[in-house]
């Protein structure tokens, strides 16, 4: 079957439509589908003729967001090669470990990361070629734009590519040891695109890609589905709430995805009240439950519908979605499974759980990844004998079929024999008018085993004591759920995708204020 050459087909069907706006490049960063296909052909020709890159070989990238991510992805599709974007927040030593795990033949990088790459360059012998996006770079490196200009624009396709071939590797969060590289197939992307179109997209949509493009949220949530149907993707080089608000107005953005912390940052921006949201059809939130007070605060100023979604690197990422009309009545829900996704909840013995009971969320369907790269043990452990992928998320489903994430299995802690779900406590914390952001983790306790430790960021100008907050929670939660430690901090540690890094909070319980 024909699959893989996205821009070749797009240039045939809608060549003159605006495909990509790379905001950091100004007017020079606006590309039609015809131009995107030309860029992908030129890079693919250079990779084939100068590097000798073949089907199944890897192309690595360490860069801030830009059109070059899409050049590399689409060129790999034309060649049957595999695109491997690396987390640019990694230390040089961590980057070297992942490069040696995935053994790319070529590494493309932006200037910000040149020094770190130079430090460890001798340690990854698989890399024979380097491309620098802005200049000449390290010794032996070539200039990206120069090779694009010099390479021929001859069409490139690889007839042997099929739907089960792997087009990219995306790394999971990696809470222990090395992150795992999920194998993303053409089949996975095609079914995810179909799910996304059915529930959310149309050809006239314009979105902003601000999540790092080494992340599934940046590459697969809306970017590829929209570029498959002829829409427009605006690329923000790096998250900035003020620039985000300006681009929404300037580019007539119709929909976009953010995590709750980013919606909070935009709400607090001085540009928020005057921003023009008249073009926006809906907003999507994912990564964590969206606090109802945050929805209300947004809609008081901009009456735009909110959708809640859920996805992950290994599945989808379009797994659940919720229509805007349920944003309030089903607040806190991730919605219902997308059209071609099967979901259920199971207990520790893999037995299905009834509605209302908490169990592990397991998923089945064609938008599942093909295991992990060079890790057969982890691949086998993730999927059971019946083909269900075990997410590690604890959830419940109501009588109407709406799912609610209770917490991660690893985030749940046991206090005095009772299961405690930090997400439930965080939901109540967000109801306090002084709380801007919060996170709850389990802290060791001599008597109870573990107790809650809450890290709280206050809204600008707000004043609150630990005792005040404990009193507020005590009126709304059972005693064993009320955190015994409260620490006020200026900001929470965030991942590049804007998710709160609870593992960083767990490393040290430096409690400044404590209640017994």
* Residue 487, domain CATH: 3.30.300.30
Scanning 103-240, the segments in alpha helix (DSSP H) are 114-120, 144-150, 186-199, 216-219, 223-229
Please indicate, yes or no, whether residues 255 and 398 belong to a single structural domain of this protein: yes
Examine residue 205 and state whether it is found in any structural domain, yes or no: no
Please indicate, yes or no, whether residues 326 and 302 belong to a single structural domain of this protein: yes
Task: Provide the residue range defining the domain that includes 281.
Answer: 239-408
Residue 50 per-residue DSSP state = I
* DSSP-derived pairing of the beta strands 315-321 and 306-312: antiparallel
Please indicate, yes or no, whether residues 386 and 246 belong to a single structural domain of this protein: yes
Please indicate, yes or no, whether residues 80 and 146 belong to a single structural domain of this protein: yes
Please indicate, yes or no, whether residues 53 and 82 belong to a single structural domain of this protein: yes
3-state helix, strand, coil in the chain (%, to 5): 30, 25, 40
Q: Which of 408, 438, 466 is the last residue of a domain?
A: 408
Predicted pLDDT at 391: 92
* pLDDT by residue, tens only, the chain of 516 residues: 468 899 999 999 999 999 999 999 999 999 999 999 999 999 999 999 999 999 999 999 999 999 999 999 999 999 999 999 998 988 888 899 899 999 999 999 999 999 999 998 898 899 999 999 987 777 778 899 999 999 999 999 999 999 999 999 999 864 445 789 999 999 999 999 999 999 889 999 999 999 999 999 999 999 999 999 999 999 999 999 999 999 999 999 999 999 888 998 999 999 999 999 999 999 998 877 778 888 889 999 999 998 888 898 999 999 999 887 887 788 888 999 999 999 999 998 999 999 999 999 999 999 999 999 999 999 999 999 999 999 988 899 999 999 998 877 778 787 866 778 788 899 889 999 999 999 999 888 877 778 999 999 999 999 999 999 999 999 888 788 999 999 999 999 887 667 788 878 887 654 443 333
User: Any idea how long the chain is?
Assistant: 516
Predicted pLDDT at 414: 74
Could you write out the DSSP letters of every residue in 346-408?
E-TTSPBPPTTS-EEEEEESTTB---BTT-HHHHHHHB-TTS-EEEEEEEEE-TTS-EEEEEE
Q: Taking a C-beta distance cutoff of 8 angstroms, is the pair 369, 184 a contact?
A: yes
Examine residue 196 and state whether it is found in any structural domain, yes or no: no
Q: Taking a C-beta distance cutoff of 8 angstroms, is the pair 75, 145 a contact?
A: no
How far is the C-alpha of 86 from the C-alpha of 59, rounded, in Å? 10
- The dihedrals phi and psi of 98, each to the nearest 5 degrees, come to -75, -35
Examine residue 119 and state whether it is found in any structural domain, yes or no: yes
Number of domains into which the chain is organized:
3
Please indicate, yes or no, whether residues 402 and 471 belong to a single structural domain of this protein: no
Please indicate, yes or no, whether residues 324 and 399 belong to a single structural domain of this protein: yes
Q: Taking a C-beta distance cutoff of 8 angstroms, is the pair 81, 54 a contact?
A: yes
Please indicate, yes or no, whether residues 367 and 243 belong to a single structural domain of this protein: yes
CATH number, domain with residue 10: 3.40.50.12780
Please indicate, yes or no, whether residues 171 and 95 belong to a single structural domain of this protein: yes
Please indicate, yes or no, whether residues 26 and 103 belong to a single structural domain of this protein: yes
Q: Taking a C-beta distance cutoff of 8 angstroms, is the pair 454, 425 a contact?
A: yes
Predicted pLDDT at 2: 64
Please indicate, yes or no, whether residues 438 and 508 belong to a single structural domain of this protein: yes
Residue 77 per-residue DSSP state = H
Q: Which of 185, 207, 228 is the last residue of a domain?
A: 185
Predicted pLDDT at 291: 80
For the purposes of burial, counting CB atoms within 10 Å of the CB of 154, is it exposed (0-12), middle (13-18) or buried (19 or more)? exposed
Residue 128 per-residue DSSP state = -
Examine residue 142 and state whether it is found in any structural domain, yes or no: yes
Q: Which of 148, 165, 185 is the last residue of a domain?
A: 185
Please indicate, yes or no, whether residues 118 and 86 belong to a single structural domain of this protein: yes
């Amino acid at each position: 079957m024909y699959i893989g050459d996205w821009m070749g087909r797009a240039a045939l069907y809608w060549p003159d439509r605006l495909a990509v706006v790379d905001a950091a490049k100004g007017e020079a960063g606006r590309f039609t589908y015809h131009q995107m296909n030309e860029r992908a052909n030129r890079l693919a020709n250079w990779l084939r003729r100068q590097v000798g890159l073949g089907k199944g070989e890897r192309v690595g990238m360490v860069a801030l967001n830009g059109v070059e991510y899409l050049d590399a992805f689409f060129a790999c599709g034309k060649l049957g090669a595999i695109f491997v974007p690396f987390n640019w927040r990694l230390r040089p030593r961590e980057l070297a470990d992942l490069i040696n795990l995935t053994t790319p033949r070529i590494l493309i990088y932006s200037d910000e990361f040149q020094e770190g790459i130079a430090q460890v360059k001798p340690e990854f012998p698989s890399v024979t070629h380097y491309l620098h996006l802005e200049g000449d770079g390290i010794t032996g490196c070539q200039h990206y734009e120069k090779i694009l200009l010099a390479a021929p624009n001859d069409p490139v396709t690889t007839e042997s590519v099929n739907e089960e071939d792997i087009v990219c590797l995306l790394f999971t969060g990696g809470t222990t040891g090395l992150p795992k590289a999920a194998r993303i197939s053409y089949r996975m992307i095609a079914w995810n695109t179909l799910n996304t179109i059915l529930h959310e997209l149309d050809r006239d949509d314009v979105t902003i890609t601000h999540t790092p493009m080494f992340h599934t949220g940046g590459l697969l949530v809306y970017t590829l589905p929209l570029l498959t149907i002829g829409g427009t993707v605006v690329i923000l080089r790096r998250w900035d709430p003020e620039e985000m608000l300006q681009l929404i107005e300037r580019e007539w953005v119709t929909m976009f995805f953010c995590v709750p912390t980013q919606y909070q940052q935009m709400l607090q921006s001085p540009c928020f009240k005057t921003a023009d949201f008249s073009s926006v059809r809906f907003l999507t939130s994912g990564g964590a439950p969206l606090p109802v007070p945050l929805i209300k605060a947004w809609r008081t100023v901009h009456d735009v519908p909110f959708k809640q979604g859920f996805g992950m690197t290994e599945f989808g990422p379009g797994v659940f979605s919720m229509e805007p009309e349920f944003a309030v009545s089903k607040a806190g829900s991730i919605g219902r499974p997308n059209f071609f996704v099967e979901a259920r909840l199971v207990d520790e013995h893999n037995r299905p759980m009834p509605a209302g009971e908490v169990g592990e969320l397991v998923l089945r369907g064609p938008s599942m990844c093909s295991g992990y790269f060079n890790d057969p043990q982890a691949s086998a452990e993730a999927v059971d004998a019946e083909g269900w992928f075990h997410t590690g998320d604890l959830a419940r489903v109501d009588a109407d079929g709406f799912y609610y994430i209770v917490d991660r299995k690893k985030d749940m802690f046991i206090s005095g024999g009772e299961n405690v779900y930090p997400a439930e406590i965080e939901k109540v914390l967000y109801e306090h008018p002084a709380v801007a952001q919060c996170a709850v983790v389990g802290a060791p306790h001599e008597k109870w085993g573990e107790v809650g430790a809450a890290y709280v960021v206050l809204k600008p100008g707000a004043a609150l004591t630990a005792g005040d907050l404990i009193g507020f929670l005590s009126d709304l939660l059972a005693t064993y759920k009320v955190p015994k430690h409260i620490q006020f901090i200026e900001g929470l540690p965030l991942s590049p995708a804007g998710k709160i890094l609870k593992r960083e909070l767990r490393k040290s319980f430096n409690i400044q204020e404590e209640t017994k």
